[in-house]
């Protein structure tokens, strides 16, 4: 579901990353428009996190380009990074800052006016039910609470592009549902949402388009209907397993049972 | 359904074998340069070991030859009985190595038994808790054994050969060294297992770090104070001093006497002291293994309850509204200054230099040997001596703040790397933090100079500007090198500074501070002969040197940050 915006907010052109002799990711081309939730699926070790890190500038690609809002993330990093927010799969946050101080720190880095930091911070704490923990040190938070604090930090400056790496892993059902609802609302407001996941149910219910990556290469991309073409109504799980080569493991699973 | 569980021995062996695989893979799959450096280090240690072996034998034979000549009677009288000295040497050597082990034993127990990353994973497996305890304890002994067998063993072998001891001495030496760490480390482990029942391990580690810093400070102050007091103490003979370490009640003395008896072939004495030594070293160790089943496991359960803590927000909201406190540089500086006092481990790294600062200020204010009138007559020498002392103290603090500026971020560095800020902005903020000691402590030192010596206003201003300007250069050097060689994957604060930053940084800033003090002090000395224009020339030189010190290291740091992959 796009929002009338013609230029994609996230563009990857032939992204490639090699670590010594090992090719982690190769030939990744994709485009995500504003208002779209794009799912990047793949088995463990497929290259999802490597791809997302190249898109947001945490990793330099061996070749290829990545653009955020029209800015090359590596040639114009400041302009590009000002447009994006990122939530890692395991957010490492400064343990000795309180949640409130962390948001103030993020606000300073992204040049968000102090009044906006306070107002938006209060809204986000209320939304994530963190009001009573706002003055507690992040070091004592559970994984789910850290995830929420990291998401609050990513949303503080109201970015038009949001990247999430495995956003619902480790969250209780209520929190996972909350994040899904937030992502839908953000997309409805025109934000381009790029998320990686290996939970297919999330992709089926949330994503407008998906790409499936396996062994460093995108092997399928499109809407769910496009992916289902020729598969006579198969589920995303069946499509995923047939593309990534997981279907034959069912026999092994039978043996172990 | 009942399943077989490993025995204590097989469980321990599995854990030790896994650790061997990790060490082997770390070496084999590491970078070539690391392998080469490891081999070079091994060769260097082998060389040092051989050197210690030859040196100890040389000293023993040298003393024996000295004693044979009547001309050296006075010297021998000062040393005391050579036989008693030689007999005390093993006890002294064992005690010298056992004492640091004892002092670090609680820290050893915490890091190997409670705070290692894989401990929780091990404890949920069906392996006896005693196996986990034993495996980790023995694994933790490896660095200790490396030190003992590379440093102490060669020295004692050289000693034994020079005294003509038989093969029994050398075989016993191996046994004594293998058992030496057992007593002090078991003592610390036992104490730790008791403490961790009431204090969570992480909190205990933080407290220990502070205590360690305070202990180091006490030792430093004591050495400074004893230096003066020692003039008035009658120096006993060397033999009497060494015999203090050969007290019959000390287990290290039992080990020493065990060795001497083995060397001399005195079977009964050997059996007596050998039994005592074995009982002392292994006894507490066995008690720890027996108690580990319960005590160790309870301590691990306690770790789950550690909370982050609550902070009262005072005035932060209003402070952030100030225009000059907004923006990325202010945000990073504010964040660093908020975190530093809350992180006991990082704070302990600063404790020593901060306490040295206070010590020197107190000593300068109260030292009765410093006569103010004599000080004034010795200016400008004393002036710049005090300035150099103050700069040195500020450098000690800035060294830690700057060299670990990026490393302190650790795994949360991705936040700075992702933010829409240039690496110059990041390093500018870190430079401000590293400069603060010069601004605060330096100003205090200048005020002290003003109180003690009452120099002219121009001289006082010059001293203050020297502090501030030198601070810019030092802060830039430490920050730049810290950014050029960051370590972001540390688990403990002492791992923050990389070896390269730790070596190159101090070289650069000592050279720089020497130049700065030399330029300005030199101008004072020669101004009388060449005229006041030398001051202008000196300050121009100082500004140029500082500009280079400011730009070059930061450029190095920025270049590295631009290429950093997270």
Query: Final residue of a domain: which of B270, B303, B336?
Result: B303
What pLDDT is stored for residue B191 in this prediction? 87
Q: Is B40 within the bounds of a domain? A: yes
Is residue B224 within 8 Å of B355, Cβ to Cβ? no
Q: Are residues B345 and B416 in the same domain?
A: yes
ipTM of the complex: 0.89
For residue A82, list chain B residues with Cβ-Cβ distance below 8 A: 420
Residue, of A250 and B155, whose pLDDT is higher:
B155
**How far off is chain A from B170, nearest CA to CA, in Å?**
49
Q: Does B48 touch chain A (CB under 8 A)?
A: no
Distance CA B279, CA B282 (A): 6
Average pLDDT over residues A81-95: 93
Q: Does A75 touch chain B (CB under 8 A)?
A: no
Contacts of B479 (CB under 8 A, 6+ apart): B402, B405, B427, B430, B431, B434, B553, B554, B557
Contacts of B485 (CB under 8 A, 6+ apart): B498, B500, B501, B504, B560
Pick from A96, A97, A114: which is nearest to B320 by CB? Answer: A114
Q: Are residues B399 and B485 in the same domain?
A: yes
What pLDDT is stored for residue B258 in this prediction? 94
Contact check, Cβ <8 Å, A108/B563: no
Tell me which residue range forms the domain holding B24: 8-303
Average pLDDT, chain A: 88
Pick from A60, A81, A139: which is nearest to B419 by CB? Answer: A81
What pLDDT is stored for residue A4 in this prediction? 47
User: Is B14 buried (19+), middle (13-18) or exposed (0-12) by CB count in 10 A?
Assistant: middle
What pLDDT is stored for residue B26 in this prediction? 86
**How far off is chain B from A234, nearest CA to CA, in Å?**
38
Q: Does B315 touch chain A (CB under 8 A)?
A: no
What pLDDT is stored for residue B365 in this prediction? 66
Q: Are residues B229 and B353 in the same domain?
A: no
Nearest CA in chain A to B324: A108
Average pLDDT over residues A169-179: 85
Pick from A59, A114, A137: which is nearest to B308 by CB? Answer: A137
Q: Are residues B283 and B333 in the same domain?
A: no
Query: Final residue of a domain: which of B272, B303, B334?
Result: B303
Among A residues 47-66, those touching chain B with beta carbons less than 8 Å apart: 53, 56-60
Contacts of B294 (CB under 8 A, 6+ apart): none
For residue B416, list chain A residues with Cβ-Cβ distance below 8 A: 109
Average pLDDT, chain B: 82
What pLDDT is stored for residue B317 in this prediction? 47
For residue A118, list chain B residues with Cβ-Cβ distance below 8 A: 317
Q: Are residues B432 and B496 in the same domain?
A: yes
B233-238 contact pairs (CB < 8 A, 24+): B237/B77, B237/B78, B237/B79, B237/B80, B238/B78, B238/B79, B238/B80, B238/B85
Nearest CA in chain A to B341: A96
Average pLDDT over residues A176-205: 90
Q: Is B308 within the bounds of a domain? A: no
Nearest CA in chain B to A109: B328
For residue A78, list chain B residues with Cβ-Cβ distance below 8 A: 420-422
Q: Is B1 within the bounds of a domain? A: no
Residues B524-545 have pLDDT tens digits of 888 778 888 888 999 999 999 9
Q: Are residues B523 and B411 in the same domain?
A: yes
Is residue B246 within 8 Å of B253, Cβ to Cβ? yes
Cα–Cα nearest to B206, from B339, B304, B302, B345: B345
Per domain, the residue ranges of chain A are 10-83+159-256, 92-157
Pick from A86, A108, A114: which is nearest to B418 by CB? Answer: A86
Of A227-236, A243-252, B50-59, the poorest mean pLDDT is in A243-252
Contact check, Cβ <8 Å, A105/B331: yes
Q: Are residues B204 and B237 in the same domain?
A: yes
**CATH numeric code, A10-83+159-256:** 3.40.50.300
Q: Are residues B276 and B330 in the same domain?
A: no
Average pLDDT over residues A139-147: 91
Query: Final residue of a domain: which of B268, B303, B338?
Result: B303
Cα–Cα nearest to B508, from B408, B399, B401: B399
What pLDDT is stored for residue A12 in this prediction? 96
Average pLDDT over residues A52-75: 94
Q: Are residues B299 and B390 in the same domain?
A: no
Q: Is B432 within the bounds of a domain? A: yes
Nearest CA in chain B to A53: B566
Pick from B306, B422, B566: which is nearest to A58 by CB? Answer: B566
Percent of chain A with pLDDT over 90: 65
What pLDDT is stored for residue A201 in this prediction? 83
HEC assignment per residue over B225-290 = HHHHHHHHCCCCCHHHHHHHHHCCCCHHHHHHHHHHHHHHCCHHHHHHHHHHHHHHHHHHHHHHHH
Percent of chain B with pLDDT over 70: 83
Percent of chain A with pLDDT over 70: 91
For residue B339, list chain A residues with Cβ-Cβ distance below 8 A: 94, 96-97
Pick from A59, A82, A107: which is nearest to B420 by CB? Answer: A82
What pLDDT is stored for residue A3 in this prediction? 44
Q: Is B312 within the bounds of a domain? A: no
Contact check, Cβ <8 Å, A92/B313: no
For residue A53, list chain B residues with Cβ-Cβ distance below 8 A: 566
Contact check, Cβ <8 Å, A105/B417: no
Pick from A95, A109, A153: which is nearest to B421 by CB? Answer: A109
Is residue A54 within 8 Å of A15, Cβ to Cβ? yes
pLDDT tops 70 at residue A257: no
> What's the structural domain count of chain B?
2
Categorize the per-residue pLDDT at A202 as very low, low, confident or very high, splitting at 50, 70 and 90: confident
Low-confidence ranges of chain B (pLDDT < 70): 1-6, 70-81, 224-246, 302-325, 364-383, 491-494
What pLDDT is stored for residue B315 in this prediction? 44
For residue B409, list chain A residues with Cβ-Cβ distance below 8 A: 94
Q: Are residues B329 and B296 in the same domain?
A: no
Q: Are residues B446 and B491 in the same domain?
A: yes
CB contacts < 8 A, A to B, total 122
pTM of structure: 0.76
Q: Does B313 touch chain A (CB under 8 A)?
A: yes
Of A7-11, A126-130, B82-86, the poorest mean pLDDT is in B82-86
Q: What is the per-residue burial (b if ≥16 Cβ within 10 Å, else e) of B450-461?
A: eebbebeeebbe
**How far off is chain B from A129, nearest CA to CA, in Å?**
17
Average pLDDT over residues A16-27: 90
Cα B201 to chain centroid distance, Å, stands at 21
Q: Are residues B329 and B209 in the same domain?
A: no
Cα–Cα nearest to B462, from B547, B394, B538: B538
Q: Is B500 within the bounds of a domain? A: yes
Contact check, Cβ <8 Å, A136/B331: no
Q: Is B313 within the bounds of a domain? A: no
Q: Is B291 within the bounds of a domain? A: yes
């Amino acid at each position: 579901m796009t929002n009338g915006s013609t230029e994609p907010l996230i563009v990857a052109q032939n992204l490639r990353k090699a670590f010594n002799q090992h090719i982690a990711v190769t030939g990744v081309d994709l485009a995500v428009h504003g208002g779209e939730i794009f799912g990047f699926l793949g088995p463990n070790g497929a290259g999802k996190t490597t791809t997302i890190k190249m898109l947001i500038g945490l990793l330099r690609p061996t070749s290829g380009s990545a653009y955020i809002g029209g800015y090359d993330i590596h040639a114009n990093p400041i302009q590009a990074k000002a447009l994006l927010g990122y939530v890692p799969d395991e957010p490492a946050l400064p343990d000795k800052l309180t949640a409130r101080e962390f948001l103030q720190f993020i606000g300073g880095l992204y040049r968000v006016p102090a009044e906006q930091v306070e107002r938006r911070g209060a809204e986000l704490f209320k939304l994530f039910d963190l009001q009573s923990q706002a003055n507690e040190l992040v070091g004592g938070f559970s994984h789910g609470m850290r995830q929420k604090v990291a998401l609050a930090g990513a949303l503080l400056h109201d970015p038009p592009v949001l990247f999430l790496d495995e956003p619902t892993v480790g969250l209780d059902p209520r929190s996972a549902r909350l994040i899904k609802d937030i992502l839908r609302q953000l997309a409805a407001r025109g934000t381009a949402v790029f998320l990686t996941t290996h939970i297919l149910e999330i992709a089926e219910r949330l994503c407008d388009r998906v790409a499936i990556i396996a062994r460093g290469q995108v092997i399928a991309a499109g809407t769910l209907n496009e992916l289902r073409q020729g598969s006579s109504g198969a589920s995303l799980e069946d499509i995923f397993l047939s593309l990534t080569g997981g279907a034959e493991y069912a026999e092994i699973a039978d043996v172990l049972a | 359904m009942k399943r077989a569980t490993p025995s204590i021995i097989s469980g321990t062996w599995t854990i030790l074998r896994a650790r061997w695989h990790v060490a082997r893979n770390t070496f084999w799959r590491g970078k070539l340069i690391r392998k080469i450096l490891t081999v070079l280090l091994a060769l260097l240690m082998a060389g040092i070991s051989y050197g210690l072996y030859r040196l100890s034998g040389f000293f023993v034979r040298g003393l024996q030859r000295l004693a044979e000549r009547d001309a050296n009677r006075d010297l021998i009288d000062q040393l005391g009985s050579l036989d008693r000295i030689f007999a005390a040497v093993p006890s002294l050597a064992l005690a010298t190595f056992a004492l640091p082990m004892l002092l670090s034993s609680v820290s050893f127990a915490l890091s190997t038994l409670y705070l290692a990353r894989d401990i929780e994973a091990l404890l949920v497996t069906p392996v006896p808790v005693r196996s986990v305890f034993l495996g980790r304890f023995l694994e933790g002994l490896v660095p200790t054994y490396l030190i003992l067998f590379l440093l102490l063993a060669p020295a004692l072998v050289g000693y034994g050969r020079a005294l003509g001891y038989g093969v029994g001495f050398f075989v016993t030496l191996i046994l004594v060294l293998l058992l030496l760490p057992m007593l002090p480390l078991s003592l610390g482990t036992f104490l730790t297992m008791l403490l961790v029942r009431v204090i969570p391990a992480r909190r205990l580690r933080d407290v220990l770090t502070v205590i360690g810093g305070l202990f180091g400070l006490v030792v430093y102050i004591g050495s400074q104070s004893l230096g003066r007091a020692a003039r008035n103490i009658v120096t006993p003979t060397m033999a009497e001093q060494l015999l203090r370490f050969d007290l019959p009640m000390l287990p290290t003395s039992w080990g020493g006497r065990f060795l001497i008896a083995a060397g001399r072939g005195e079977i009964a004495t050997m059996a007596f002291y050998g039994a005592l030594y074995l009982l002392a070293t292994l006894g507490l160790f066995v008690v720890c293994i027996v108690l580990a089943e319960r005590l160790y496991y309870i301590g691990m359960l306690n770790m789950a309850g550690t909370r982050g803590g609550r902070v009262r927000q005072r005035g932060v909201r209003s402070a952030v509204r100030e225009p000059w406190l907004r923006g990325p540089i202010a945000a990073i500086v504010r964040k660093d200054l908020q975190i530093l006092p809350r992180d006991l481990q990082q704070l302990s790294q600063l404790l020593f230099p901060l306490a040295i600062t206070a010590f020197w200020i107190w000593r300068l204010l109260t030292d009765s040997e410093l006569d103010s009138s004599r000080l004034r007559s010795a200016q400008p020498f004393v002036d710049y001596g005090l300035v150099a002392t103050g700069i040195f103290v500020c450098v000690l603090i800035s060294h830690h703040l700057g060299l670990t500026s990026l490393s302190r971020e650790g795994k949360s560095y991705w936040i700075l790397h992702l933010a829409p800020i240039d690496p110059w902005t990041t390093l500018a903020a870190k430079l401000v933090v590293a400069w603060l000691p010069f601004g605060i402590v330096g100003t205090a030192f200048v005020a002290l100079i003003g109180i003690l010596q009452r120099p002219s206003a121009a001289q006082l201003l010059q001293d203050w500007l020297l502090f501030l300007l030198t601070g810019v250069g030092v802060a830039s050097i430490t920050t730049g090198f810290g950014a050029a060689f960051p370590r972001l994957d540390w688990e403990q604060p002492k791992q923050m500074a990389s070896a390269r930053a730790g070596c190159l940084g101090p070289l650069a800033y000592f050279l720089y501070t020497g130049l700065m003090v030399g330029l300005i002090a030199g101008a004072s000395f020669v101004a009388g002969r060449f005229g006041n224009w030398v001051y202008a020339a000196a300050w121009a030189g100082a500004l140029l040197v500082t500009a280079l010190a400011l730009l070059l290291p930061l450029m190095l740091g920025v270049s590295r940050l631009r290429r950093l992959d997270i």
